[in-house]
Structure 1
Amino acid sequence: MSNILTLQAAAAERLALHLPSASTLRVAGIVPAQDATAYASPAVTATFVGASTADFALLLVDRSFLAAAGGSGLVGAVSAVDVLRPALEQAASAFDAGVLGELREEDAAGLLSDPGTAVFELRDAHQANDGGAPFAWFAVRVRDNGGTLNTARAGQDSDVAARLGLISSVEMALTVEIGRTRMSVRDALALEPGRVIELDRSAGAPADVLLNGRLIAHGEVVVVDQDYAVRITRILDGAEGTL
């Protein structure tokens, strides 16, 4: 399997693992693009930009799970792009450092017609390959920014560095996260002063440091001149930051 196809398959596997479906999903394999053509619109699309550029399109057969994932009983009451963004960010993490752009709902026929696009079929893990319609299709196209993905990733040297240097002064959001939890829209709307929200982290555990939503380090919260600050205790490598 080529390096490009390996990256495409890894993105599909991560997406299947993190889609907020009630059933466990698996990647059933690569299928011809025409299998998904009937569902090309509307698709949820996004572009990832890093050392490589990747175009994604998620084509859902049944969107009913989006309402439950968003905490609403009504289909269309919540935005598909908001519900699906965390899963697509996980898919993008297969491509190392970079930024996932805005998610859109649009026709994906152009992406599906590109011979460089790999289309992966996602199915219920307990469903046979010929057991009815799949859950979704995930289309991935990789553009290597003029370089080559068939060399080791460590070999992407001065050319990539020079291009990234063009955006070295761009401001990015650095966030410190002490914990998180999940709640439905109904529970979020019921919040009021004095309400205690329990997080998924014990007292004293390190805080996560995220750059544009990507985990890059761990640290501890301190107070400096009456302001909160974070002392970095560990810088993560690329593989750890994808977890």
Structure 2
Amino acid sequence: MGLLFEEIDMQPSAIGDISLRRRRIPALGERDIYEVKLGDEFLMSSMFVDAEVALSDIGLNAAEGDSLSVVVGGLGLGYTGVAALKHKRVSELLIVEYLEPVIRWHQQENVPLGKELNADPRNRFIHGNFFELAVASPDAGGFDPAAPGRQFDAILLDIDHSPRALLHDSSASFYTPTNLGLMAHQLKPRGIFAMWSNEAEDAEFMASLRAVFTDVACHVITFFNPFQNRESFNTVYVARKQD
């Protein structure tokens, strides 16, 4: 193990081995870069977080009212969650994460934002499958195990790479009008659903959103990619539940 690279942890999971790595690339400066991999696939890098932050900012800027209750689907390296907590109107944040090692990395503060998430009393980690909880009937619970059937002001999702590029085939049915409609039951009237994607606007998914929600939009978030020496982009979908 060289000074420029360290594998902090690797654990088995139901969908493959997941690992947390830290590296430095001298040409890019002295800061540590944290990476999460699932098997051989990169899930996230702390180098590229603009859209993860924008997911919270766009979604919560669209949310109405004060004392917002927010669900984040997918913990990652914590950037969406921390960005949500920077909004003063957020009174409660539930971060739903399927992979227990990812929660543990934050609880043990093996990643830079773990300390900030742990220190904020508004934040709570929920170990569970977002896609199953999203479509659960009120009697079955929903996102908050302490308050079955409750509704939220915003649900922010960052798990799959896109509605087509999935981490696991089991989530494919979520991106349909039927299951988006079931998830919408867990939003308050005029509540916000927002979602990160690694790909350009998906016309079929936009149609599915419009079948359930109103005020549907797709925002392009650009950032510089030093590995490719050019501008790259992610997208953020945002939609509002009808009254």
TM-score (ref. length: structure 1): 0.24
Q: Which has the higher strand share?
A: 2
**Structure showing greater Rg:** 1
